[in-house]
Amino acid sequence: MSAPGIVVAGLRKRYGAAQALDGMSFSVHPGLVTGFVGPNGAGKSTTMRVILGLVAVDEGTALIEGKPYRGLRRPLAHVGSLLDPAALHPSRSGRDHLLWLAHSQGLAARRVDQVIEQVGLSPAARRRAGGYSLGMRQRLGIAAALLGDPPIVMLDEPFNGMDPEGIVWMRGFLRSLAAQGRAVLVSSHLMSELQDTADHLVVAGRGRAIADTSVAGLIAAASGNRVALRTTAGPDATTVLARAGTTVTATGRDALTVSGLPSERVVTLLRASAVPFAEVSAYRATLEEAYLELTRDAVEFHAATPAEPPR
């Protein structure tokens, strides 16, 4: 793997009684979308602010391409970020907002039109930003983050306020940034948003990374040797398959999950007993399921998420 774009190591930060960061450590690599997930208050935003030199830590280091943010001569050419989509001048147009930012960084107006195009904001670029929806503000914030064409992009909850179409767009957009070789760090408290988007996952809980793992490996592990079965004859299928030693769980209307046998054996057994079925396939866990499995044993994490239903 190539050298990491961001390395945070042992970050600690206390605000009065709140230990916002308690040993946060992880790396963000080029060419990958790294999802930064965890419940509210886990320390995600604070970590991002530390990386950008906006918050001074009590202990630890945060390096961007080997240097602290303050040591970067042209920071926007190294890292682009979206922290707060509300941070804009309401009476200025989106384009003027970007022109002002570009000017302060010595970037050409041409670059502004490129990023507007890239984030799909062209139809609204000359309208007052104060009238933008939250989704449009997110796009404007992302355009600003891309102005300096940075190899590292860091977005705090970019899915917030996006409609379903916007979410689909955002997923593809994050993937395209990674495909261009950029290191992308994106925070979210909803796993479903990162489905088919994140390559890597850092799970934050109580100010530290409680898991740091590849998404493919995580989903494969959570999927196990399970088979998804669709049949209108659920009770018959359950009897036949349970007799063969499998564990059968109903997972939805006409849907069963079978553990303990490969799909070919499931098909053979059902056919031999003349049990009808519509579909048999290898089961693939959702990212949400994989995440719940991963965090099930993290006592600390559970302590921080009272809203989660008991299992």
Ligand X SMILES: Nc1ncnc2c1ncn2[C@@H]1O[C@H](COP(=O)(O)OP(=O)(O)OP(=O)(O)O)[C@@H](O)[C@H]1O
Q: Which of residues 26-45 bind ligand X (CB under 6 A)?
A: 38, 40-45
Q: Which of residues 216-245 bind ligand X (CB under 6 A)?
A: none
Between 46 and 231, CB nearer to ligand X: 46
Between 42 and 112, CB nearer to ligand X: 42
Distances (CA, A) of 56 to 17, 61, 65, 145, 168: 17, 10, 19, 22, 36
Which of 20, 102, 218, 248 binds ligand X (CB under 6 A)? It is: 20
Q: Which of residues 186-215 bind ligand X (CB under 6 A)?
A: 189, 204
Helix, strand, coil: what percent of the chain each, to 5? 40, 25, 35
* Residue type, position 65, single letter: E
Rounded Cα distance between 200 and 250, Å, is 30
Distances (CA, A) of 54 to 82, 155, 216: 13, 15, 33
Which of 15, 247, 249, 278 binds ligand X (CB under 6 A)? It is: 15
Between 18 and 278, CB nearer to ligand X: 18
Rounded Cα distance between 115 and 106, Å, is 16
CB of residue 277 vs ligand X: minimum separation in angstroms? Answer: 43
Q: Which of residues 170-189 bind ligand X (CB under 6 A)?
A: 189
Between 14 and 175, CB nearer to ligand X: 14
Distances (CA, A) of 89 to 51, 97, 100, 137: 25, 7, 11, 11
CB of residue 130 vs ligand X: minimum separation in angstroms? Answer: 24
Residue with tokens 């983050």: 145
Please give the size of the binding site for ligand X, defined by CB under 6 A: 13
Q: Is residue 83 close enough to count as binding ligand X by CB under 6 A?
A: no
Going by C-alpha positions, the residue among 107, 98, 178, 176 that lies closest to residue 139 is: 98
Rounded Cα distance between 84 and 303, Å, is 28
Mask for 117-156, x = binds ligand X (CB under 6 A) = ----------------------------------------
Q: Is residue 295 close enough to count as binding ligand X by CB under 6 A?
A: no
Q: Is residue 46 close enough to count as binding ligand X by CB under 6 A?
A: yes
CB of residue 100 vs ligand X: minimum separation in angstroms? Answer: 27
Q: For residue 197, how many C-alpha atoms fall within 13 Å in the half-sphere facing its CB?
A: 26
**Site residues, ligand X (CB under 6 A):** 15, 18, 20, 38, 40-46, 189, 204
